[in-house]
A and B are shown apart, each in its own frame.
Chain A
Amino acid sequence: MAVIQVQRKPLTLAERTYLPQIFGGLMTTIKYFFRPAETLQYPEQRPAIPPGYRGVPTLVMDPNGREKCVSCQLCEFVCPPKAIRITPGTVAEGKGIDNVEKAPQAFDIDMLRCIYCGLCEEVCPEEAIFLQNQYSMSGYSRAEMVNHKDRLYELGGTLPDKHFKWEVKKAAEQGAGAHH
């Protein structure tokens, strides 16, 4: 590659006195002086969260209010910092989720370890775990920074379901026999 020699022009008298530059700078700063502040008054004003934001991971329910997680533990295995700890359990009778075999008995996400990578959301076959809009977490102890299952559902709420995977499966089983 050819080296291009750039001729540096000698400074003009006006440039050497600094004054035009300083006045130019003063004009710029006075322009900004009269503009409104760009900052938010944080606790009162909150920033708008863009779609696709990866906030605190949460567990969601389906529109029928049923637990989606089947405790397959894929998120636990994929989690790079090992922030997720799941204790699988059986499905309680009469909860309306007898279409699946398992549900988490305990589901803990240690927010001191979580790196908000979103791999758990990506890997979940049930679309049960989502990184949602909450971005500020605080607590007074390490134990407080671990989100347990009830807290995770409280944060997650209910999200619309595009597939109703298990209903479709159930309907298919009842309609077309044992093939699936």
Chain B
Amino acid sequence: MSEFFFGLPVVVQGVIKGLAVILFIFPVAAACSMAERKVSAWIQRRPGPNRTIPPMLVGIPGMGVLQRLGLFQLAADGGKFFFKEEPLPNHVHKFYFVLAPFIAMIPAFTTVTVVPFGAYLDPAGKVMPLMLANVDVGMLAIFAVASLGVYSLILAGWASNSKYPFLGGVRASAQLISYELSMTLSVLPVFLWVNEPGSTGSLSLARVVEFQSHAGFWGGTWFLFTMPLSALIFMVALFAETNRQPFDMPESEADLVGGFHTEYGAFKWSLFFVAEYANMIVGSSVFALLFLGGWNPLPWIPLSSLLGGLQHLTGSALWLHPLVAGVLSTCIFVGKVLITIFVFMWVRWTVPRFRYDQVMRIGWKILLPLSIANLVAYTVGIYFLQG
């Protein structure tokens, strides 16, 4: 099996791996929309969607749990989008109108390539990251591609050729550009810290995780503890970048009907939302990698000691098998990502939406100076610690 896989041309291997990741993210992104409804229901003390079940599954044990979790509702909603009529208003710029939702998917599914999602130990005991492309530009690539996401919103808002989508698109562009600055500046201290003098510089996210899995007190500390301000700024900017409440200016259904997607319906509309959740997944992954230690199970307990400990306890070398280690670390990492996504939803159902001027004030007058001060402070600190 593995010989067959590694015998394939590199391009085919890459395509298979990429499809595997996308086939994971797409359903998870869709499931997140159901999780959103359920989280909102539970916070508001409702049961949430819990009725839908296909008639042929009624009475099979265990199906009731899935029914109450709303999984069949999710399938019904998703399936509906494929069979609905695709409305295409007469007044839109048709080509760009259709193009926009597909552009929305691109950054979400491109940034995944440089996000490591697990690791295994090679025979020498070295931790090898599992990722589609372990390139040195890592974080830079994510920022570069993720900022393309704004084009889909602007394009959707402009091509819709009516006032509310237009306003939504304008807001989206202003907001996304404002918060990108503080977002980038907030992660710079992490990379300054990671690239100590004398080492080859790298912006790879795998490197950041590797740095958080060293032995010793300071080596195993997650960056959340050493750089709480960076983490906070990054988190807030992430909310703004993914258009999540309390920063969902581009949508703000109270004052803009539906914002940039007012004129959209059916499958194209759902693409915007899958893209939003996919962006959330990638954003949460980056947060987990930078500040929550990636695939390390707990602070000060890196993956290699967990595997070593399990091997010691059970006395079998199975734990060090690359497959087992890879699955285990991926599960740990996905768990962290899901927790971060839950925080996104938790915040959404707690905090009301900011006004547009407040969004701009927070972005330019608070977060940006704060992230610059944070960068300067850590630069000086890192100079004296490492230099």
Instruction: Answer whether A32 and B47 are a contact pair too, CB < 8 Å, given A22-B351, A26-B346.
Output: no
Contact yes or no, A38 B350, CB < 8 A: no
Partner of A38, one of B45, B346, B349: B45
CB distance from B365 to the nearest CB of A (A): 12
Contact string, A10-46, partner B, CB cutoff 8 A, digits 1/0? 0000000000001001101110111111110100000
Contact yes or no, B45 A35, CB < 8 A: yes
Contact yes or no, B351 A32, CB < 8 A: no
Instruction: Answer whether A22 and B47 are a contact pair too, CB < 8 Å, given A33-B39, A33-B42.
Output: no
Number of interface residues of B (CB under 8 A): 13
Instruction: Answer whether A29 and B43 are a contact pair too, CB < 8 Å, given A22-B350, A22-B351.
Output: yes
Contact yes or no, B45 A29, CB < 8 A: no
Partner of B47, one of A26, A33, A35, A39: A39
Residues of A within 8 A of B46 (CB): 37-39
Residues of B within 8 A of A35 (CB): 45
Contact yes or no, B43 A26, CB < 8 A: no
Contact yes or no, A32 B44, CB < 8 A: yes
Contact string, B21-41, partner A, CB cutoff 8 A, digits 1/0? 000000000000000000101
Interchain CA distance A29-B39 in the complex, whole Å: 10
Interchain CA distance A39-B346 in the complex, whole Å: 21
Contact yes or no, B45 A32, CB < 8 A: yes
Interchain pairs with CB closer than 8 A, number: 37
Contact yes or no, B47 A29, CB < 8 A: no
Q: Is B140 an interface residue (CB 8 A)?
A: no
Q: Is B347 an interface residue (CB 8 A)?
A: yes
Number of interface residues of A (CB under 8 A): 15
Interchain CA distance A41-B50 in the complex, whole Å: 10
Among residues 301 to 359 in chain B, which have CB atoms less than 8 Å away from a CB atom of chain A?
346-347, 349-351
Contact yes or no, B350 A26, CB < 8 A: yes
Interchain CA distance A22-B351 in the complex, whole Å: 7
Residues of A within 8 A of B43 (CB): 29-30, 32-33
Contact yes or no, A30 B346, CB < 8 A: yes
Contact string, A35-59, partner B, CB cutoff 8 A, digits 1/0? 1111101000000000000000000
Interchain CA distance A134-B44 in the complex, whole Å: 29
Of A28, A29, A38, A39, most B-chain CB atoms within 10 Å = A29
Interchain CA distance A37-B39 in the complex, whole Å: 12
Residue of B nearest to A24 (CB): B350
Interchain CA distance A30-B43 in the complex, whole Å: 7
Contact yes or no, A37 B350, CB < 8 A: no
Of B41, B45, B46, most A-chain CB atoms within 10 Å = B45
Apart from the given pairs A22-B351, A25-B351, A32-B44, 11 other A-B contacts in the complex at a CB distance below 8 Å: A26-B346, A26-B350, A29-B43, A29-B350, A33-B39, A33-B43, A36-B45, A37-B41, A38-B46, A39-B46, A39-B47
- Give me the 6 closest cross-chain CB pairs, A-B, nearest first: A29-B350, A38-B45, A25-B350, A37-B47, A29-B43, A33-B42
